[in-house]
Structure 1
Amino acid sequence: MKTVLITGCSSGYGLETARHFHAQGWRVIATMRNPRDGLLPVSERIRLLQLDVTSEPSIAAAIEVAGPIDVLVNNAGIGVVGAFEATPMSHIRKVFEANTFGVMAMVQAVIPQMRARRAGTVVNVTSSVTLAPMPLAAAYTASKQAIEGFTGSLAHELDVFGIRVKLVEPGYAPTTRFAANTDIPVADLIPEPYADFAGPIFAEFARPAQTTRENDVAETIWLAANDTSSRLRYPAGPDAVALARAG
């Protein structure tokens, strides 16, 4: 029985991905900052663990308890929407700690066991903003673009040890809790000079032409995790696929 460890399973893509892997017969280590009952089926193949990807002691404890990991899915992250000018640097650093350095720390923690077995897969979840950067998300886009470059380089570095490294690029899903983990209201990040510019953009967010469903992402993560080819990028959702083709 294979084991997958997934970060950020309290909602959205992470939660749906945990359900999907469980349905396929895998042992699932579902992690989140604040575990709570009722999110996932009661099963001997599911274990909820507390994990904060911005804390190295928390990461080390979770990896030790999880045991051998066949697939690591780095899904945890936070969003931020607003004019870059109005976004405090302290907040930008918080975004990078979760979206960039947290991913790197998780990968660094799991490499030794995968290298020793000469097997394993790392799936890093980024965003379709890496395919077509959108306005009012400069810090978020930068944090995800960093992981794109990191993952591409790492794929070459770990291939010699039989470890595969993949990128999943989800599109826009209105049902996800984007920016829910931040402590600054969006309104505070849109100063008056940006109001006329931001209005139509937020209206488009509310009525997107195409959207991504959570199961689109879960199924794509599953595909990436089980693909033994050298393919690196996997857009997830119709809007992400369209952007990838256009690019």
Structure 2
Amino acid sequence: VIPQMRKRRAGTIINVTSSVTLGPIPLAAAYTASKAAIEGFTGSLALELGFFGVQAKLVEPGYGPSTQFASNGAERIAGLIPPEYEDFAAPIMSGFGEQGLITTPEDVADTVYRAVLDTSGRLRFPAGADAVALAQAH
């Protein structure tokens, strides 16, 4: 789609990453690194495509316990905590179920919509109360 957007000199690319890029959390190093890579890519892409009138932006959702992603993630990490990390990981894992602020699918959809319509040149858009709180803390 980029060649077509460049030709039209218009368009917006939205990459969805994660609020893990807004502040470090334990037991998520590889996940955070993968999301940080997308953030770096998108930041550079925004600069490159801006010359052509095309925007690239980031939406950074927080923890969404009601999504399929949350349940899939729990299944994937089951049994992957090495014995040396069990005492460290136990309170962290149980704390995931006790989140106060969360992100809903509607939060993400609303934030994508706002990002597409935004004309300020802003790159990052946290989505959900928890992501917004993290962004404001850093």
**What range is the shorter-chain TM-score in?**
over 0.9
Match of 2:7 among 116, 121, 128: 116
Percent of paired sites with the same residue: 64
Partner Cα separation in structure 2 for residue 236 and residue 173 of structure 1: 10
Q: Which amino acid aligns with 2:92?
A: I
Unpaired runs of at least 5, structure 2? none
CA distance, structure 2, for counterparts of residue 160 and residue 185 of structure 1: 41
| Coordinate RMSD, CA, aligned | 1.6
Give 2:23's aligned residue.
132
Q: Which residue of 2 aligns with 1:221?
A: 112
Following superposition, which runs of at least 4 residues in structure 1 exceed 2 angstroms of deviation?
177-182
Q: Which residue of 2 aligns with 1:240?
A: 131
In structure 2, the partner of 1:211 is 102
Residue in structure 2 matching 1:171, options 42, 62, 67? 62
Alignment correspondent of 1:149: 40
| Paired positions, count | 137
Q: Which residue of 2 aligns with 1:25?
A: none
| Cα separation, partners in 2 of 1:228 and 1:219, compared to 1, 3 Å | same
Q: Secondary structure at the match of 1:195?
A: helix
Query: What do residues 156-188 of structure 1 show as CA deviations (whole Å, max 9, x unaligned)?
Result: 110110101111110111112236289x74222
Pick closer, same or farther for the CA change 1:185–1:230 going to 2, 3 Å.
Answer: closer
Q: Which of 1 and 2 has higher RCO (CA within 8 Å, sep 6+)?
A: 2
Deviations 1:34-58 (A, max 9, x none): xxxxxxxxxxxxxxxxxxxxxxxxx
| 1:115 aligned counterpart, secondary structure | helix
Structure with the higher helix share, 1 or 2: 2
**Cα distance change, pair 234–185 in 1 and its aligned pair in 2 (3 A):** closer
Aligned amino acid, residue 159 of structure 1: G
Q: Distance in 1 between matches of 2:119 and 2:55?
A: 8
Q: Trace 1:61-80 onto structure 2 (pairs within 5 A).
A: none
Q: Which amino acid aligns with 2:137?
A: A
TM-score by length of 1: 0.53
- Cα distance in 2 for partners of 1:128, 1:186 equals 19
Q: What is the TM-score normalised by the length of structure 2?
A: 0.93
SS in 2 for 1:231: coil
